[in-house]
Every structure is written in structure tokens, then in C-alpha cells.
Amino acid sequence: MNGQKTAASDPYFPANGDPRYRVHRYELALEYRPGPNRLAGTARLSAIAGRAPLAEFHLNLAEFKIGRVLVNGRVAHYAHRGGKLRIRPAKPPAAGAAFTVEVHWAGNPKPVRSPWGGIGWEELTDGALVASQPVGAPSWYPCNDRPADKASYQISINTPSAYTVVAGGRLLTRTTRASTTTWVYEQSAPTSSYLVGLSIGMYQTVLLGEPGLGGVPQSAHVPAHLLARFSRDFARQPAMMRLFEELFGPYPFGEYAVVVADEELDVPVEAQGLSLFGANHVDGVRGSERLIAHELAHQWFGNSVTIADWRHIWLNEGLAKYAEWLWSERSGSRTAHERAGVAHRLLALQPQDLTLADPGRKLMFDDRLYQRGGLTVHAVRCALGDAAFFRMLRDWATVHRGGVVTTAAFTAHVARYAAEPVDELFSAWLYEPALPPLPEPPPAAPAEPAAPSVPARPGYPPTNGEPAGRRRWRG
């Protein structure tokens, strides 16, 4: 079968994803036993063929044992090796036709190899979690693993009743029979495969915010011995949510959950409607609050508004980095311009060999991309002025809600809000490796959007830059 790169393949990961079709819904029925780390599953994919009949196509799936593969209910021929499940339907779906794929698989899930170490399914001391960015989703389920192919999900997981299962989306049912419980989650919003989050562990569930006040439902799943520290560290998350809704528009999903794993993680794990933190991010003194803001901001920038391919990763990380600075500014700590100055001084001391708009696979998670991405957003704010900048930012998140974007789409969007051309600004910040000068600060912020009512805490957050190596999240 032809596994060659196609014109629409991701340039950084041409072996992942198949642009000859798109999936609009996944239904996953899983059984997981934590002790032996045993996973068995059935996936039913509802998909649509592209512009040509599908005599063959592929899914990405790690080296599990395959039970059977069906296309439109008929047994299909398949070959499974090298992380690809290549499928030949008995009757090829016609161009533009809807079709279904059913895959049965089982085995011991483990991280898949990547330039950043193992990513995807991770067995913990007592439980498991998923950290899939950018190509770890095939470590636990068959998928068309490309960020632009967004679909709805229903995930059913049966596991011993002592464990709590958390997935991104709304919990539909929780049914206990004998010693096992089946949890069923529904994520109706379009979701990229790498953003399907999952955690299985011994947790206590608490609600964030004040019940009965409306707003976005926010829950947390935390080991019992960390609850006291957690209650302080995450106390201001509801205020962050209110601020980000004012700045970026309504929260794009039905609910938001956070999980604290009972192990240390290098950095938090991003997922749609869900963020996962390590025990080391809960210290009782809000030492990781900027990371809480960063992961929450990804719900707008990265999860709802998703990049078409990995060349555009700065859009996710630059906007989330700038959200950290906006939270700092609006919660009474340093201004965004002061944060930008710190970042600029750090970058000025480092090599000038990163092109933000196309960093290459080797540098796509480099710390400099985060800092320079935030600085680029700040440069846009300085050029537009606050009134136009915040209109632009909110409209960007609103117009592209649930969609897929590129750097070119962003620059064209910004240009519509600018009184003067911004071509030179973007040329310098996005396409030239040399660091431009720190822009002049923007005019004073207008009264709207208003800051949330939160206590100021001088000296917060820490200013030592982005933690090293976002994807090597477990030491």
C-alpha cells in the first residue's frame, strides 16, 4: 500500500494522518485493568471520503493485537506495522461518501517514540494518564492523527470501581456492576486526536467556584492528601475563567476539568476541556499559577481554534503565553509589558536561529518559541492599541471557534484591525530569526473589558521563563 507523503500531509509528521478522508465522530468502548496495564477496545469511526474513492486508507495505531477490522460492516483486509493500520475495504467508499470503520484491538499500552521521548499513554504507579501532544494519540486508540481532522467523541471506559476515570467532555453515565464501573463521556465539540485527554486514578472530586452562580462548570480530581494545598493553588481559577471569557469570548466547551496526578510531571498536560497537573504543581503557595492560566487559555487557543498543521504551533503557545501575562497584569502583578521585557532580555542572550512561523520539528517545542510567540502577540497589541487589539483577539477566537487556522489567516485577521500596515511587523517577528527590538508599550488599557475581582499578590508569578522541554513531561 502507498504510504508516501501527500500534498496535504503534515510537513513535520508526514507518516501521521491520512488526508484522503476525514472523521466526524469516534465512539470508543474500552476496558482497562491498571494492575497488568491491559487495554482492550472497540473503535467505531464515522467518516467521509475525500475527492476520490477509497480503495485504501490508513489509521494510526501502535503495536496492539488487532482482532478484526470492518468497513461499512464488512470485513476488510488490513496490514498493521510501523504504527500504521492500512485498510483495504471490500467495497471502496465512493468519493464524498459517508462510511464507517470498526476496529477491535487489545494489548499493553505504552508511550510511542518521538523526538521528545515517549508520549501518549503513560502507566502511573497506580493508574494511567494520556499526554499525546503532538503524535501520541495512536498509543491507545486508532485515529486519523492530524490536528486538522477534528471530530466529536464518545468514550466509554470500564475499569475497577476504586478508580476515577476523567476524560474531556460531559460525563453521561457512571454505572457500577460487581467490582467494575463503566464511565461514559461525550465531547460534542470538534476535537483533534492529540487533544483527547484521559486520566485514571484514585481521586476525590471537588467543584471550583461557588455553586448556583452560573458560569462554566469547573471540577477538579485530586488525591486526598493534596486537597488542602490544591484549594489554595487553584482558588483563583474561577477568576481566570471570568477574565478570559471577557477577553477571548465565551468559554468554547461545556465544562472544564483539572486533574492532579499523584506523581510529578515536568509540565502540565493539555487536553480539550481538561488539563492535567502533577503533584509538584501543587505547593500551597500558588507557585504554578501562571501554568494554570496557560493551560486554561489553551481551551480557546489550540483546542477550540486549532492549527492546521504543526508549522503553526506558535499560534497555540504564543497566545497561551500572552494569556499568562494578561492574567498577571489584570490580577495586580506585573504588567504584560514588564513580562514582555523579561522575555525579551532572556531571548536576547540566546541563539537567534528560530523562525517562529515555521520553526521545524526540532524546535517546535523550544522554550524560545513560547517566549517569542508571546512577544509577537505583544508587538501586535502595541501596534494596534488596546481597544483594537482586544476586539481583534476576541473576534479571532469567536470567528474560528471549533475551526482550523494558519499563520497566514492570523496575519490577515490582524490587518483588518490595524490603522497602518502590519506587514513589516510580521515579517520581522514571524519570518526573520533575528530578535526585533522590544516594542513600545501600548496606550493605557480602556475600562473594558474589566479585570476580575481578585486579590493582588506582589511578586507573582515567577519570572524564570518557560519550563524546559514541554513534551518530556515525565522525568
Contact (Cβ atoms closer than 8 angstroms) between residue 101 and residue 69: yes
Quick one: how far is CA 281 from the chain centroid? 18
Beta bridge mates, 166: 199
- CATH number of the domain at 1-197, please? 2.60.40.1730
Looking at this protein, which amino acid is placed at residue 167?
A
Nearest-angstrom CA–CA distance, 174 and 184: 6
- What is the maximum alpha-carbon separation in the chain? 68
- 124 by DSSP, 3-state: which? strand
Domain boundaries, the chain: 1-197, 306-431
Task: Give, in words, the CATH class of 306-431.
Answer: mainly alpha
Nearest to 159 by CA among 31, 42, 261: 31
Cα distances (angstroms) measured from residue 416 to each of 22, 82, 253, 401, 421: 32, 46, 27, 18, 9
Looking at this protein, which amino acid is placed at residue 96?
G
Nearest-angstrom CA–CA distance, 120 and 16: 14
Contact (Cβ atoms closer than 8 angstroms) between residue 270 and residue 133: yes
Beta bridge mates, 154: 27, 186
Nearest-angstrom CA–CA distance, 436 and 337: 15
Residues of the chain with pLDDT under 70: 1-8, 210-213, 442-475
CB atoms within 10 A of CB 409: 19
Looking at this protein, which amino acid is placed at residue 150?
K
pLDDT at 441: 84
Backbone angles phi, psi at 382, to 5 degrees: -65, -35
Side-chain-side CA neighbours of residue 363 (13 Å): 18
CB atoms within 10 A of CB 410: 26
Beta bridge mates, 101: 45, 71
| H/E element, 294 | helix 289-297
Nearest-angstrom CA–CA distance, 126 and 263: 10
Nearest to 122 by CA among 132, 133, 134, 130: 130
Nine cell digits for residue 48: 467521509
Contact (Cβ atoms closer than 8 angstroms) between residue 146 and residue 308: no
- Per-residue pLDDT tens for 232-241? 999 999 999 9
Looking at this protein, which amino acid is placed at residue 173?
T
Backbone angles phi, psi at 203, to 5 degrees: -125, 155
Q: Which residues contact 247 (CB under 8 A, 6 or more apart)?
A: 326, 390, 393, 394, 449
Q: Which residues contact 420 (CB under 8 A, 6 or more apart)?
A: 383
Sheet of 84-88: strands edge to edge? 57-60, 84-88, 77-81
